[in-house]
Amino acid sequence: MKIAIYEAGSGPRIGVVLGDRIVDAGLAGPLMDHLEAWAEIAPRLAGLDPASGLPLSGVRLRAPIPRPGKIFAIGLNYADHISESGMGTPERQVWFTKAQTSVNGPFDPVQAPRVSQAVDYEAEMVAVIGRRGKHIAREDAAAHIFGYCVGNDVTERAWQHATPQWSLGKSFDTHAPFGPWITTGDEVDPHALDIRCTVNGDERQASNTRHLVFDVFDQVAHLSQAMTLEPGDVIFTGTPGGIGAAMTPRRFLKPGDVVRVEIQGLGAIENRIEAEA
């Protein structure tokens, strides 16, 4: 099942994507409030009629979780990205946070900040937590994941590398677009999905999630040893090689560029770079 947040002339609504249409789910409030009860909700939604919905082309899709409780992202998690970064394969998972205010819609503009000329893309699969848990065993991790979507861990490289902590360079406003919807975990093998990023139609990244150094279930198990994971928490699971900072010469994003990230079975997001007002 594909669950999206959409607007069609009024406030945001929760919808079910059926082919090229979206049908209102009849659920009030934010999606994250319904995640733990989804097993009871899903059977009713399974019978929705696409004809009762709206064309996807006529609605605005928003970030599926507009204000996550936590946003964590893992670094150095594909072998080719580790190689191009000139670093060794980490023995332990390398984590940083992104600010809640970095969340952005799947087709909304991404800002090139006033203070920056080093904005980069990072195509990533995103996991959304659906069930609260602490000290989650790896074999139980799938049961705590609501579903998966497409993300771009947009990064300001100069700020990222100005200090040993990466979070500031990862947290500029609009620098965490994800969506276009959440595909529920029962429909996805998260470790067998092609992932691709293009800039202005030029392919920059192409890999498969089977190449993750630490897979998604390892990530959930590890994070949960430190903190309680809660419904609506968002995890960016790592980017493959091909980032602009590793190219010769470096190729950072500039206003007018269009970045598209596609993941097999999860859809695609597309964001135009615009100068910060």
- pLDDT value at residue 81: 86
Domain ranges of the chain: 2-62, 71-275
- pLDDT value at residue 73: 98
Question: What is the rounded average pLDDT for all residues in the chain?
Answer: 96
- pLDDT value at residue 79: 86
| For range 43-63, the mean pLDDT | 96
Summarize pLDDT for 119-158 with one digit per residue, the tens.
999 999 999 999 999 999 999 999 999 999 999 999 999 9
**Is residue 276 within 8 Å of 134, Cβ to Cβ?**
no
Q: Which residues contact 222 (CB under 8 A, 6 or more apart)?
A: 93, 214
Summarize pLDDT for 186-200 with one digit per residue, the tens.
999 999 999 999 999
Residue found by looking up tokens 């996991």 in the block: 127
Instruction: Report domain 71-275's class.
Output: alpha beta
Token pair of 82, please?
Answer: 């580790």
Burial class of residue 268, CB neighbours in 10 A (0-12, 13-18, 19+): middle
Q: Give phi and psi for 249, each to the nearest 5.
A: -75, 165
Summarize pLDDT for 194-236 with one digit per residue, the tens.
999 999 999 999 999 999 999 999 999 999 999 999 999 999 9
pLDDT at 87 over 80: no
- pLDDT value at residue 80: 83
**Is residue 41 within 8 Å of 28, Cβ to Cβ?**
no
